[in-house]
């Protein structure tokens, strides 16, 4: 993979990587940051099976997101056709109840807004002008039962970031109107449109699982005419994604075994809950109700529950890859450097002498120095590597890789050489030049000593003091 270097100035990054955080984030605090040499490289086309997410159904179609665009296919299965061709990323599409429209959230240039497109295909129209930079901003969550208005969440006029409110906007465009709720989350209308079932808290985009803190989600009903608010559930964990069908509210909850998110049903007449799906490997992801079908993604598959029979089955759709997102192309690495990971943790490493920086971009690890070309250390298309760390003596680099399909800890010489996998899961190197912490798959921590000597091996025989030494297969 050829590397074409280009110089970009990152003076603003000094405040993130300076050993001592100065009140004035000038280049003097970290001189080489002002001349960071970043790179671009040729992205290699690989066979890709797209992840299909955010499914939604009408009477005869299923729509979903693949390759960051909106697609639709027959509900019975078969070839899919592409409805959007946008450089941005589409999320949370929903069919209107009459099946004529698809509303969706579009993230373009870091900003989000609500769009609508005819279900049969055609030109998309922008409905909201929030230009929200928040992940939860201008997010489509429902349609009104008459198919005339789209419901979306927004941070507009809220005092804190965690608080979102629900607005509606006409499918024909116009000003958005606030729903009479002081806060909102995912929701679903009653069949007659006189009430909704909803979450008062929105945290569905957070990556934390098994959360049982003060921001846990419960289900409530709200009647518009009487303004009556009724709490339905009181589970210590997650009750979310409500879907109102007849006298039953279907929803996603982690109240089952292992805190695994599955589909549950709440009977409004008997006020009892029962579990519908019993997945033990992967969570149910972003379900929606369209007509008499619940659809969701689970473990990379599109699944459907037919109502009222509650029959579960897989939807087989064929999504062609036209290469728009996966073809070979040159991309500017400097624009995709990860300063933080998805959980807000640090995702770069400054060398012990402060003369080089390790960063992750486009799944590869790069070493950048003040006045030299950026160097791609890994050259691994189709593999993600991040969370780099230097050994305190600067001779070894440790990082995470998913080359085996799951997160593993790997090391390689800082001067160049082959990687060696030493354990599963994450890492941290502490500044005494000896102790490396490896977070194992079981969630436990193991201390290893990478310095020379008898204590420099893990239990599986990996010699951490010699990155080039062969290793036995990990027992973790």
Q: Note whether 165 and 229 are same-domain residues.
A: yes
Give the whole-angstrom CA distance, residue 361 versus residue 217: 35
Q: Note whether 260 and 352 are same-domain residues.
A: no
Helix (H), strand (E) counts: the chain: 1, 40
Q: Note whether 227 and 309 are same-domain residues.
A: yes
Q: Note whether 28 and 99 are same-domain residues.
A: no
- What local confidence, expressed as pLDDT, does residue 239 receive? 96
Q: Note whether 251 and 343 are same-domain residues.
A: no
Q: Note whether 60 and 22 are same-domain residues.
A: no
Domain count, the chain: 2
Q: Is residue 106 part of a domain?
A: yes
Tokens in use for 19? 């050993």
Q: Is residue 468 part of a domain?
A: no
Q: Is residue 18 part of a domain?
A: yes
What CATH number is associated with residue 169?
2.120.10.60
Return the closest-CA partner of residue 94 out of 167, 17, 203, 186.
186
* Cβ partners under 8 Å of residue 250, min gap 6: 242, 243, 263, 264, 265, 266, 276, 287, 289, 294, 305
DSSP reduced 3-state for 28: helix
DSSP reduced 3-state for 111: strand
Q: Note whether 141 and 290 are same-domain residues.
A: yes
Angle at 53 between CA 71 and CA 221, to 5 degrees: 110
- What local confidence, expressed as pLDDT, does residue 380 receive? 87
Cβ atoms of residues 74 and 80 within 8 Å: no
Does a cis peptide bond (omega within 30 degrees of 0) precede residue 96?
A: no
Q: Note whether 228 and 151 are same-domain residues.
A: yes
Domain boundary among 258, 283, 318: 318
Mean pLDDT by 10 residues, the chain (476 residues): 32 31 33 41 59 94 95 94 92 96 91 93 92 75 96 86 90 94 95 95 84 89 96 94 97 92 97 96 95 95 96 94 68 80 85 91 89 83 90 92 86 86 61 48 46 42 45 32
- What local confidence, expressed as pLDDT, does residue 161 receive? 72
Q: Note whether 142 and 284 are same-domain residues.
A: yes
Q: Note whether 302 and 216 are same-domain residues.
A: yes
- What local confidence, expressed as pLDDT, does residue 476 receive? 26
Q: Is residue 459 part of a domain?
A: no
Q: Is residue 417 part of a domain?
A: yes
Q: Note whether 20 and 89 are same-domain residues.
A: no
DSSP reduced 3-state for 357: strand
- What local confidence, expressed as pLDDT, does residue 425 receive? 58
Tokens in use for 278? 């019993």
Domain that holds residue 34: 3-43+333-448
Domain boundary among 318, 345, 362: 318
- What local confidence, expressed as pLDDT, does residue 403 receive? 84
Q: Is residue 30 part of a domain?
A: yes
Tokens in use for 148? 């005339």
- What local confidence, expressed as pLDDT, does residue 424 receive? 66
Q: Is residue 464 part of a domain?
A: no
Tokens in use for 314? 């897989």
HEC-encoded secondary structure of 230-284 = EECCCCCCCEEEEEEECCEEEEEECCCHHHCCEEEEEECCCCEEEECCCCCCCCC
Tell me the β-bridge partners of 295: 288, 304
Q: Note whether 73 and 35 are same-domain residues.
A: no
Q: Is residue 48 part of a domain?
A: no
- Burial label, 290 (beta-carbon count in 10 A; 0-12, 13-18, 19+): buried
Give the whole-angstrom CA distance, residue 114 versus residue 107: 9
């Amino acid at each position: 993979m050829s590397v074409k270097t280009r110089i970009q100035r990152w003076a603003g990054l000094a405040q993130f990587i300076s050993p001592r955080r100065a009140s004035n984030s000038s280049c003097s605090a970290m001189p080489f940051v002002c001349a960071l040499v970043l790179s671009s490289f040729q992205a290699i086309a690989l066979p890709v099976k797209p992840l299909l997410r955010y499914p939604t159904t009408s009477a005869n179609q299923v729509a979903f997101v693949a390759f960051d665009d909106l697609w639709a296919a027959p509900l019975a299965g078969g070839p899919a056709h592409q409805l959007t061709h946008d450089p941005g990323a589409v999320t949370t599409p929903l069919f209107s109840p009459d099946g004529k429209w698809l509303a969706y959230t579009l993230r373009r240039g870091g900003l989000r807004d609500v769009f609508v497109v005819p279900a049969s295909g055609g030109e998309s129209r922008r409905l909201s002008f929030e230009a929200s930079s928040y992940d939860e901003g201008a997010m489509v969550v429902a349609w009104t039962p008459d198919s005339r208005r789209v419901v979306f969440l927004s941070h507009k006029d809220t005092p804190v970031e965690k608080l979102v409110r629900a607005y509606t906007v006409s499918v024909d465009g116009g000003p958005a109107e606030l729903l009479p709720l002081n806060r909102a989350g995912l929701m679903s209308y009653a069949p007659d449109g006189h009430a909704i079932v909803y979450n008062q808290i929105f945290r569905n985009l957070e990556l934390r699982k098994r959360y049982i803190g003060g921001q846990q989600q419960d289900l409530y009903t709200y009647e518009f005419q009487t303004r009556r608010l009724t709490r339905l559930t009181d589970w210590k964990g997650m009750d979310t994604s409500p879907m109102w069908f007849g006298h039953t509210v279907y929803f996603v909850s982690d109240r089952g075994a292992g805190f695994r998110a599955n589909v549950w049903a709440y009977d409004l007449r008997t006020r009892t809950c029962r579990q519908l799906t019993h997945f033990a490997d992967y969570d149910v992801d972003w379900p929606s109700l369209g007509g008499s079908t619940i659809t969701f993604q689970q473990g990379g598959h599109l699944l459907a529950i037919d109502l009222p029979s509650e029959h579960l089955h897989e939807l087989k759709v064929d999504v062609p890859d036209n290469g728009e997102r996966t073809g070979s192309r040159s991309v500017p690495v400097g624009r995709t450097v990860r300063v933080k990971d998805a959980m807000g943790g640090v995702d770069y490493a400054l060398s012990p002498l402060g003369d080089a920086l390790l960063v992750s971009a486009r799944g590869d690890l790069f070493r950048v120095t003040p006045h030299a070309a950026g160097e791609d250390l890994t050259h691994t298309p189709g593999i993600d590597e991040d969370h780099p760390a230097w050994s305190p003596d600067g001779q070894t680099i440790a990082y995470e890789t998913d080359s085996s399909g799951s997160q593993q800890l790997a090391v390689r010489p800082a001067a160049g050489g082959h990687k060696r996998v030493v354990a599963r899961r994450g890492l941290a190197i502490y500044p005494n030049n000896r102790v490396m912490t490896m977070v194992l798959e079981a969630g436990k921590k193991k201390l290893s000593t990478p310095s020379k000597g008898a204590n420099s091996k893990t239990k599986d025989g990996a010699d951490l003091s010699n990155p080039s030494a062969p290793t036995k297969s990990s027992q973790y």
